[in-house]
Amino acid sequence: MKRWLFTTLFFLSLANFVWAQGYHHGRGHNGNWPDSLTTLTVTGTILIDASHVHPVYYLDTNADGQADYHLAFGPYWYQPASGAKWPEAGQTVTIAGALNDFMTPPSIIVFELNGLKWREPVEFGMFGWNGHDPWEAHGDTLTVTGVVLADTTYFYTHYYLDTDNDGLPEYQLGFGPPWYVPGKDVSRPAPGETVTIFGRLHDENMAGVPMLTVYSINGVQWQNPFGPAPWAGSWMHRDRDDSARVFCVNDSSNWIQFPPGNMGRRHGMG
């Protein structure tokens, strides 16, 4: 009897654990994040399509004059802190990055150029919500107006602000996790939109500009400047009578769910 009861409880617990694990998206909607893609290193000749407003970069790896890969270096104004420089047409380079094969030719999100770091594989902290020291709430607050610039190299957009109309960013805007939306009265701005931002200033990031944690856009609150960020978690009461779901801060499709009474008693075991 005891063995049967133990076996039953074990499999019930196992089933509960499996049920509690949230769905982490596959390669569908936003499923091909850089940390989930295949990484590779390739060598070839740079091809540049200058027919666009900003040059588009490709790599010819077999010397046939045709593009084998599109190269995702980031926005035209990006300059890595490592000293790596944008390549020129005809230059032979070695690229390390993540392969996104949902386009033709396939695209490589560039992490390294000729052994020099171009950018981080996944830039956690670039939103101002990872809790490391530079993003603690001890910087100066300020209000600035400028034109929004966007970096869409990744599968979540990074936002910047150009305050002097030179086409280059003076600040990166920290809106929080990509899935966070505070309400129907405010939303993330569109590229090219002129906005007034009130926020808190922090140290320079990998793009070489300071991070501005956004508290309000055009006078409408984005998050409360006093107290924890709204995506920072919540209490789970010991005697709650409903399930509680906790989301991954950078991916709203990734979560873990706790059944009622999961802390302490009310496990159905006394």
Tens digit of pLDDT for each residue in 178-202? 888 888 789 999 999 999 999 988 7
- pLDDT of 24 reads 37
Q: What is the distance between the alpha carbons of residues 15 and 6, in angstroms, rounded to a whole number?
A: 14
**Comparing 82-86, 133-137, 256-260, which segment has the lowest mean pLDDT?**
133-137
Q: What is the distance between the alpha carbons of residues 157 and 24, in angstroms, rounded to a whole number?
A: 20
Q: What is the tens place of the pLDDT at every residue in 1-34? A: 544 444 444 444 433 433 333 333 333 333 445 5
Note the pTM of the prediction, 2 decimals: 0.61
- pLDDT of 20 reads 37
Higher-confidence residue of 228 and 47: namely 47
- pLDDT of 69 reads 97
In this structure, what are the phi and psi dihedrals at residue 18, rounded to the nearest 5 degrees? -60, -40
- pLDDT of 153 reads 81
Contacts of 194 (CB under 8 A, 6+ apart): 145, 146, 147, 148
Ordered structural domains, the chain, with CATH: 34-117 (2.40.50.140), 133-221 (2.40.50), 233-270 (no CATH)
Q: What is the distance between the alpha carbons of residues 204 and 214, in angstroms, rounded to a whole number?
A: 15
Q: What is the distance between the alpha carbons of residues 206 and 118, in angstroms, rounded to a whole number?
A: 9
Spell 30-59 as b/e; 16+ CB within 10 A means b. Answer: eebbbeebeeeebebbbbbeeeeeeebbbb
pLDDT class of 124 with cuts at 50, 70, 90? very low
Q: What is the tens place of the pLDDT at every residue in 37-90? A: 788 999 999 999 999 888 999 999 999 999 999 999 988 888 888 889 999 999
Is the Cβ–Cβ distance between 255 and 234 less than 8 Å? no
pLDDT over threshold 90, residue 248: no
Rg (CA), the chain: 23
